[in-house]
Amino acid sequence: MSKNKKPRILLVYTGGTIGMVKGADGALQPFDFENIISHIPEINMIDCHLSSYSFPVLLDSSNINPSSWIEIARVIEDNYYSYDGFVVLHGTDTMAYTTSALSFMFSGLEKPVIFTGSQLPIGHLRTDAKENLITAIELSSLTDDEGMPLIREVCLYFQHELYRGNRSTKINAEQFNAFASPNCPPLAHSGVHLSVNHQLLRKPSMSEFGVTTVLSTHILLLHIYPGMSIEMVKHLLSYEKLEGVILLTYGAGNAPTDEVFLSALEEKIASGIPVVNVTQCLKGSVSQGEYAVSQTLKEIGVISGVDMTKEAAITKMMYLLPRKRTMEEFRKLYVKDLRGEINTIKVK
């Protein structure tokens, strides 16, 4: 894009509360794109060329799955060289899973892909949709001194904060600040001015833009709790199509030291199924071996998920499993910083 040209932004509408209206039964359901635009004429005042694409079938994001991620990725891929930035309207419930997944599925991304939505539909008097949408478009239009897109990654904008997509998680079903990025500061903040945290932004990748659409889905997410039946866990682990396991552990990566549980995990790892350790805590990092109760996990080869969100941990595994040749190779890639999703200094 040349310095003085208006940025071209593509708005992609997938569904979510932002465009919902109440059906005959009083329940909110997705509605068409024109409904959004008609409620927000201010959109035409933004200094960019705006085009839109609406999913043929609009979704509540609870029904989003990897084929929806592929559909979103394809829309962006097909339009990648015709636009300077992308804003994706998406339901909040699974938005952080989608932003995490897409961050891995895209390689060499040099343009902003900013997701947003709202807690109240656009037709609601006190809606948060307008600010979220307008600012997401403004952020996607920002350029650097050379006139190139300033933001070159998948992000999530909500309630005044721009988060890295694979660092964000939904924390609130009630307030307007629905999201947080507990282990990575916001990339930008919208106050009287848009203030960008330039140091945190991803640098040009130098590789060609591409999209990966092969993902594994036979992943067990095991949220550990006191009293969890080990018999049940063994049963779940015996699923013949199982490809990977993510343990949601206590605190700094701690888990019960029950021998039957640990040897069931060890057996899986020995058979080539990676097991990853992610903390149930919102903030902080796994540190295997800090406590005696995580020492054996480390010894049997459980991989530390460090400070990744569960959304990033799952989607990174979905992305890496089909590329796995050896367990060692998988482990190396899993603890590597691929898209800004992990703090590699803390790997333990």
Active site residues per annotation: 17
Closest among 68, 35, 75 to 53, alpha carbons compared: 75
In angstroms, give the least distance from the CB of 312 to ligand ASP.
Answer: 19
CA 330 to chain centre: 20
| Among 133, 11, 190, 165, CA closest to 84 | 11
Residue nearest to ligand ASP (CB): 91
| Residues forming beta bridges with residue 28, ordered by sequence position | 22
Q: Which is nearer to ligand ASP, 16 or 305 (CB)?
A: 16
Nearer to ligand ASP, 60 or 243 (CB): 60
Q: How far is the CB of 129 from ligand ASP (least distance, A)?
A: 10
**Between 133 and 262, CB nearer to ligand ASP:** 133
What is the rounded distance in angstroms from the CA atom of residue 296 to the CA atom of residue 24? 56
The residues binding ligand ASP (CB under 6 A) are 15-17, 60-62, 91-93, 117, 119
Q: Tell the smallest beta-carbon distance from residue 26 to ligand ASP (Å).
A: 15
**Of residues 158 and 261, the one with the C-beta less far from ligand ASP:** 158
Q: How far apart are CA 225 and CA 159, in angstroms?
A: 33
Least distance from ligand ASP to the Cβ atom of residue 172, Å: 10
CA atoms within 13 A of residue 190's CA, in its CB half-sphere:
17
Q: Which is nearer to ligand ASP, 132 or 294 (CB)?
A: 132
Within 10 angstroms of residue 115's Cβ, the number of other Cβ atoms is 29
d(CA 79, CA 98) in angstroms, rounded, equals 19
* CA nearest to 8, candidates 56, 53, 55: 53
Min separation Cβ 173 and ligand ASP, Å: 8
Residue corresponding to tokens 């600012």: 135
- Measured distance CA(312)–CA(167) in Å, rounded: 7
CA dist., res. 72 & res. 88, Å (int): 9
